[in-house]
Amino acid sequence: MFRSCVIGALIAVGCLLAWGCSRTPYFIAKEEPWRAEEERACLAAGYVQRSPFLQARASLGGPNVCGALQPFSMSATRSGRVGLNPPAMLRCPMIPAVERWIENVVEPAAERYFGVPVVEVKVAASYGCRPMNNQWGSKLSEHGHANALDVSGFVLADGRKIDVKSGWWGNPREQAFLRTVHRGACSEFTTVLGPDYDRLHRDHFHLDLARRMNGRVCK
């Protein structure tokens, strides 16, 4: 049983970390030196400043199998105007990308389409040591590297909630707002997936900073 797991040392770790070994490894992970290099460069560049809304957390044991060298728990944007609920566990490069998306895209879009500020981004998932789409034997998800954020909706200052699931095909304002923030995410993240991508994403936007051979994905 164990032998089937040892396709590579990393896969074996994936098996041990996860649900134990079975015929198919829980996920497939490979050596990706760029991850640690990119994270160290981001930390050294000082893009990320600790604040009441951004707390450093203990290493998650990564960055090759699962985790990150220095993950952060992000509970709001730098300004404190827009909360992330629940707080998202993210690696360094994701933080400025999420900040810019919220400040430059989400906040103006809320004012434009609803005439009130956005106060909260609803986080459906951030860090999680799991395969892509939770499918046994798939490649390790970007969520496993704290390099992805799933957003299921937004809360406005007047209490209105704009959910991806109901709003993507909801009233015209909700549709326009959600399509604007989805499209706007594509200039900050290398992967943006929403309800038009597949049924697994019908209730959230998946945003990540994967490095891919074929450039960006924006669907």
Q: Which residues bind Zn ion (CB under 5 A)?
A: 148, 150, 206
- The residue whose Cβ lies closest to Zn ion is 206
In the complex, what is the shortest distance from the CB of residue 206 to Zn ion, in angstroms, rounded to a whole number? 3
Q: CB-wise, 91 or 206, nearer to Zn ion?
A: 206
Q: CB-wise, 182 or 206, nearer to Zn ion?
A: 206
Q: CB-wise, 63 or 131, nearer to Zn ion?
A: 131
Q: CB-wise, 5 or 178, nearer to Zn ion?
A: 178
In the complex, what is the shortest distance from the CB of residue 163 to Zn ion, in angstroms, rounded to a whole number? 16
Q: Which residue has the tokens 């707390």?
A: 55
Residues 6+ apart with CB under 8 A from 98: 74, 77, 84, 88, 90, 149, 188, 207
Helical (H) or strand (E) element with 10 = helix 9-17
Q: CB-wise, 15 or 146, nearer to Zn ion?
A: 146
Coil vs helix vs strand at 87? strand
In the complex, what is the shortest distance from the CB of residue 90 to Zn ion, in angstroms, rounded to a whole number? 12
In the complex, what is the shortest distance from the CB of residue 125 to Zn ion, in angstroms, rounded to a whole number? 6
What's the CA gap between 51 and 89, in Å, rounded?
A: 15
Angle at 165 between CA 90 and CA 149, to 5 degrees: 10
Q: How buried is residue 32: exposed, middle or buried, by Cβ count under 10 Å (0-12/13-18/19+)?
A: middle
Residue 48 near residue 95 (C-beta atoms within 8 A): yes
Q: Residue 72's beta-bridge partner residues? A: 56, 90
In the complex, what is the shortest distance from the CB of residue 157 to Zn ion, in angstroms, rounded to a whole number? 27
In the complex, what is the shortest distance from the CB of residue 148 to Zn ion, in angstroms, rounded to a whole number? 5
Q: CB-wise, 150 or 188, nearer to Zn ion?
A: 150
Which amino acid is located at 93 in the chain? Answer: P
